[in-house]
Every structure is written in structure tokens, then in C-alpha cells.
Amino acid sequence: MNKVEQYIFQFLNSLQLKNRSSYTITSYQTDLEDFKQFLFQENITIEDTDYKIIRNYLAYLYSKKYSKRTISRHISCLRSFYKYLMKERIIIQNPMKLIPNPKLDQTLPKFLYTNELEDLLLIPDQETPLGARDAVMLELMYATGVRVSELVAIQIKDINFYDQKIRVMGKGSKERYVLYGSRLQSLLKNYISNIRPVLLRNKSNDFLLLNHLGNPLTTAGVRTILNKIIQKGALKYHISPHVLRHTFATHMLNEGADLKSVQELLGHENLSTTQIYTHVSNEHLRQVYLHAHPRASKK
């Protein structure tokens, strides 16, 4: 293992110790592999990297036809990596200090309309253990807006049935509470009392959502289940865990929730991250106006 590989290994290990999501760690590992290859080709050591070399690396990424969003992710990865190297005193100057993120083309998040959501929630067969679990999983994602990594980490002890709220661990190990309503309350109580013991198969763990082997559901498992639900319902639109999170936020704002409350429920550190949902709500309002007002559009 050369020095670059050693530093990358140590950095990724530090992320695991901080309980960063497996998705983040895998993404960083992939991005740092690109960076390692670049340094190897240019015969450059970590200690020798400076602002100019980082700029050359970004030009290298652009030459590979990477999107602005992908390059932005690489930059975020390198910022974290060099922050770690500075903290460990491996380097004395941070070459990422003056590197800006590329200006991204704003894309509005995809969400489900109410009728589409209702169609989705009706697909799981709640007469079967796995179908009942799927119903809880879907309702939980929509009712609370949790990230998929937060979803699979929920344990029974995290649920406060009296106040109808759930403790979740968000990005950067930040704890917050999400709220839920009577529909999910009913599904949860039935699932925990009657369904989860069947799925558990005499095993012992405290996680809420289990797979068919009685083990905790993974983020990959959630995506696989969603794909099967889409196929079973012959749906014509793609659904990911994040689409349900987007749907939660958009529906909340459409029904009059204030932006600050939605920010807290989503666990966004900055209000600017949440503000994109106002664009979705405004676009929805615009479409309603154009469709309904007699003089809004040409017939």
C-alpha cells in the first residue's frame, strides 16, 4: 500500500467511526479512486498537491465528460479528505481552500401527486407478512420524510407511541425527532405486535424493519423492495426513497406548512437546502392557474 492509498484508507475508516452512511463512504471511495489515479499518472504525491494541481485535476474530470453535479461531489469529497489530512498534520496547507463548487443547473425534485401516492400505498398486500412490512415502510417514508439511511436505522426503542414521534439519527450523527399521524400509528402497532415477530424468525435484534431472513433491512434492500412494488403495480413512474422524501416536503408546503418547520423535520442544516421545495410548490401553483383560469392560456 503506497502513501496515497494509506491516507485514503485512514480517511474512509475515520468516516466509518463517525457513523457516516455507507452510501457516502462508497461514493467517497469511488471519487478518491479517480483522484488517486490522477496523482499516479502525474507522478504527484499528496504532500505536493497545491491549488494549481487541484485545478488541473478538475480539468481532467471535465475532460472525462463528468456532469457538474458529479464534479461538485468530487470537490466535496476532496474538501473532506484534505480537512482530514490537515487535522492529522499530514499536510500544512489546504489546496481546497479556494476551490469553488461549479454552479449547478437547478433541477426541481421529483415528487408524487396525491393520486399517484394513493395508488402506491395500496399496492402492498397487507395479508402477507412482507406486504404488511412494505406498507409500514412506505407509510413511514411518506409520513416522516426520513432519509433511507435513517429509515433502516430506526429501532423499536426510538418510537414514542404516546407522542407519535420517532427519534432518528441524521447526517453527521445529528439527532432529531420526526412526527407521524394516526394512519402510521395503526400500521406500526399491528406490525410490531403481529408481523415483526413472524419476520424475526426467533432471532434477536431491535431494528424496526426486517427482511425475509429476520435481519435488519438495508438501504439496498429498501430500493429493491420499491422496484418490486413498481413492477407489481405496473406503475409508469420511477420511485426512489428520495422521491418519497421530496413528496413529503412538497405536500407539507402545498398544505400551508412554513419553510422553517419543514427544514427541521427534514433535518436540513441550511434553510437554503429546503427552499428548493418552494420552487416545486410555486410551479405546481402555476400549473393549476394556467389550467383553471379562463384567460391564463390560449385554448
| Active-site hit among 74, 133, 246, 268 | 268
How far, in Å, CA of 152 to CA of 298, rounded?
Answer: 49
| Active-site hit among 147, 196, 246, 251 | 147
| Active-site hit among 73, 79, 242, 284 | 242
Asked whether the beta carbons of 57 and 35 are under 8 A apart, the reply is yes
Query: What's the full length of the chain, in residues?
Result: 299
Burial label for 204, CB within 10 Å (0-12, 13-18, 19+), is exposed
Three-state DSSP class for residue 179 = strand
How far, in Å, CA of 31 to CA of 140, rounded?
Answer: 32
| Active-site hit among 74, 133, 245, 246 | 245
Is residue 147 part of the annotated active site? The answer reads yes
Asked whether the beta carbons of 274 and 268 are under 8 A apart, the reply is yes
Is residue 268 part of the annotated active site? The answer reads yes
- Report the candidate in 110, 157, 126 with the shortest Cα–Cα distance to residue 283: 110
| Active-site hit among 73, 83, 171, 223 | 171
User: How many other C-beta atoms can be found within 10 angstroms of the C-beta atom of residue 65?
Assistant: 7
Is residue 277 part of the annotated active site? The answer reads yes
How far, in Å, CA of 290 to CA of 49, rounded?
Answer: 54
Asked whether the beta carbons of 251 and 236 are under 8 A apart, the reply is no
**Which amino acid is residue 101, in one-letter code?**
N
Which residues have a catalytic role annotated?
147, 171, 242, 245, 268, 277
